[in-house]
Amino acid sequence: MRLERADLLQIYYVMRLTRAMEDRTRMLFLQGKVVGGVYTAQGHEATTVGAAWTLADSDFIVPQHRDLGMHLTRGTSPRAVMCQWLARGNSPSLGFDGQLHIGDIHHGIVPSISMLGESLPVACGVALTMKMRKHSTIVMAPCGDGATSTGPFHEALNFASVQKLPIVFLIENNGYAYSTPTFQEFAIANLSERAVAYGILGESVDGNDLLKVIETVGRAVEQVRGGKGPALIECKTFRVRGHSEADKADYVPAALREEWLVKDPIPRFEDYLTREHILTPDIKAEIEEQVKAVVEDAVNFAEQSPAPDPSTVADYLFAPDGPVAIIGEPESHDPRYINALDRRTGKTFNSVTETGKPAFVATEEVGRR
């Protein structure tokens, strides 16, 4: 993947912005202003920003809980992110949720799911839809090392490989699944070795090396877009802070943390840019100023934004919040047969009429206003 000077500086800016947004949010958390937990990804920036950079605008991401760098790379506004974290009404989830479940469908990002591994079958669904519609769109499906020990991870890999789905599974291996170190999680050296069992491309890469991440993930993206089925890429990185801000992570040996701090992806990329005369002290100062201003603007915007109206608390509980809702269990094994409620008339009805023909196609009707 060809990277121009402007691309490299933009990538550096987004990495810095990602780190700064999280640092500022830790302060807001200590001030009791954040709704829910704060899950940072200090150390992941080369992986999240680099991997997202390789995608086209029309591609999808089905993220995990440490992917702020992906959101910012795709163009989710820092204001929207901050509103989400402070649960304000004009956040992507309208203030109904906090940091963990942010999604931004306008930028092709499906909301993340807390249950480890469960987002991967969802990613398969998105990819299958794209394939059936004959789009060249692909899906990036990140997960943590811990998530790779779940059933849905293996089910998703198997299904995707059999169906040749356009997915890049991206493992962000950060050394720990909460307090469990990787040597207690799995017995192989590289998680990408699991690709062999599914007959798909598998590669591991230094997840703290921005250029290597872009090269490796970019190659996988190209292959997947070419219709050769899914790929499994492992980015080896480290979770420098605790699982959340409520976790001191004193189970991590100090020497190990120190070792990874030296490999911090941001100064590492900065050194490269400086050596290549792309980043000068003036440009660096300019970027620092810009990052500071953008973060402060996002915080001010969020703090001035209203919380959601309490009277809407029961809205959006069910996805089909339209004129027709699916209710109860089907009384027939016919997959077209469902019980439904017409909200306009208050009447319940079956989706299959006496003639055996569908009264409506559920996926078309449900949710339509």
Ligand X SMILES: Cc1ncc(C[n+]2csc(CCOP(=O)(O)OP(=O)(O)O)c2C)c(N)n1
Give the residues lining the site for ligand X (CB under 6 A): 66, 114-116, 144-147, 150, 174, 176-178, 239, 243
Q: Give the 3-state secondary structure of residue 140.
A: strand
- Smallest separation (angstroms) from ligand X to the CB of 358: 36
| Amino acid of residue 33 | K
- Smallest separation (angstroms) from ligand X to the CB of 209: 19
Q: Are 214 and 205 in contact (CB under 8 A)?
A: no
- The residue sitting closest to ligand X, measured at its beta carbon, is 144
Q: Are 140 and 59 in contact (CB under 8 A)?
A: yes
Secondary structure (DSSP) of 164-220: T--EEEEEEE-SEETTEEGGGT-SSS-GGGHHHHHTSEEEEEETT-HHHHHHHHHHH
Nearer to ligand X, 184 or 332 (CB): 184
- Smallest separation (angstroms) from ligand X to the CB of 185: 8
**b vs e for 98-124, b when ≥16 Cβ sit within 10 Å of the residue's Cβ?**
bbbbbbbeebbbbbbbeebbbbbbbbb
- Tally of residues, the chain: 369
Q: Are 169 and 141 in contact (CB under 8 A)?
A: yes
Nearer to ligand X, 107 or 239 (CB): 239
Which residues have a Cβ under 8 Å from the Cβ of 4 and sit 6 or more positions away?
none
Nearer to ligand X, 116 or 235 (CB): 116
Nearer to ligand X, 92 or 207 (CB): 207
Nearer to ligand X, 40 or 137 (CB): 40
Secondary structure (DSSP) of 233-270: EEEE----S-SSTT---TTS-HHHHHHHHHT-HHHHHH
- Smallest separation (angstroms) from ligand X to the CB of 172: 6
Secondary structure (DSSP) of 27-94: HHHHTT-SSS-----TT-HHHHHHHHHTS-TT-EE---TT-HHHHHHHT--HHHHHHHHTT-TTSTTT
- Smallest separation (angstroms) from ligand X to the CB of 178: 4
- Smallest separation (angstroms) from ligand X to the CB of 154: 13
Nearer to ligand X, 23 or 276 (CB): 23
- Smallest separation (angstroms) from ligand X to the CB of 235: 11
| CA Rg value for the chain | 22
- Smallest separation (angstroms) from ligand X to the CB of 152: 8
Nearer to ligand X, 177 or 220 (CB): 177
Query: From the CB of residue 215, how many other CB atoms can be counted at a distance below 10 Å?
Result: 15
Nearer to ligand X, 91 or 174 (CB): 174
